[in-house]
Amino acid sequence: MLPAQLPRSLQQAIAEALMIEGSMTRHIGGTALAFTAALLAAGCGPVYLSDTHATSTPRAESFDVGALASEPVATLGVVAPASLQGFSPTLSLALAAAVAEVSPPIREIPTFETINRLSDQGLEAEYADLLTGFARNGVLERQKLRRVGSGLRSRYLLLPGLAQVDETIIDKFEAAGLKLLRNRVTTLRLWLQLWDAQTGHIVWESAGEITVSTVLLSPKQAVPLEETIQKLLFSMIQDGLLRGKTETEYYFD
């Protein structure tokens, strides 16, 4: 029996390929080739399913979401456990790509430009202390935040965080002892906060989770991690921040 969670078109393609080959045990070599052809025929890229869920706080009453289109919004560096710091550049790039797609638009200063501007202003130590303090107590110290915001000429600052990255390989279909179908399951948990540098307050925050199951013929066929992160961040920003929804959930195949 084929896995029920596969898209119907893929199940049908696989079933037809196996029927053409006849007995699986006597023609395993041909079956494997036909199975591969069926997957490729179902689509040139990897076949995958994803489940996205995000929860957001209501926006602060004093916050005007329209200001994000007229004033530059600076993005700070990613806050993550030491074991996940290596994913920080990927998350930063995915965040910039997600912000570029939302509507109405947000005038974002991406992380690398934020750092460059602060360095030009001689505020790199202040910036480092600001993030170190947050990692220690979960708060952006008000005076440092105000100086950083002033140096960037940005009232609002985005602070992204990475909480968890898990990846496992699951065997889903076998024939005559050969593993013909494998799933790579990736789970990501992220959070995002928007700070007001003038008041030192959080005006909005969101936590999101996405699980992606990719049908593999080889490990190289996985959906790129940056694409997965971008999809989650887009839903958090578009629905949670710009549309004011407190909970969103999507299922894609």
Output 145 or 172, whichever has higher pLDDT.
145
* 24 pLDDT higher than 50: no
The HSE-up count of residue 164 (CA atoms within 13 Å, CB side) is 11
Output the CA torsion sign for 169, 160, 110, 67: positive
Residue ranges of domains in the chain, CATH in brackets: 1-44 (no CATH), 46-252 (3.40.50.10610)
Q: How far is CA 233 from the centre of its chain?
A: 5
Output 25 or 45, whichever has higher pLDDT.
45
Q: Tokens 């550049």 correspond to what residue?
A: 89
Q: pLDDT-derived band of residue 224, with 50, 70 and 90 as boundaries?
A: confident
Q: pLDDT-derived band of residue 226, with 50, 70 and 90 as boundaries?
A: very high
Query: What residues contact residue 219 under an 8 Å CB cut-off, 6+ apart?
Result: 169, 184
Q: Has this prediction a pTM greater than 0.95?
A: no
Output the CA torsion sign for 210, 191, 72, 67: positive
Both ends of the chain: CA-CA distance in Å?
A: 20
Per residue in 183-201, pLDDT tens?
A: 788 999 999 999 999 999 9
* 228 pLDDT higher than 60: yes
Per residue in 123-145, pLDDT tens?
A: 999 999 999 999 999 999 999 99
The predicted structure's pLDDT at residue 59: 93
Rg (CA), the chain: 23
Neighbours of 91 (CB within 10 A): 25
CA distance 41 to 123: 55
* 63 pLDDT higher than 50: yes
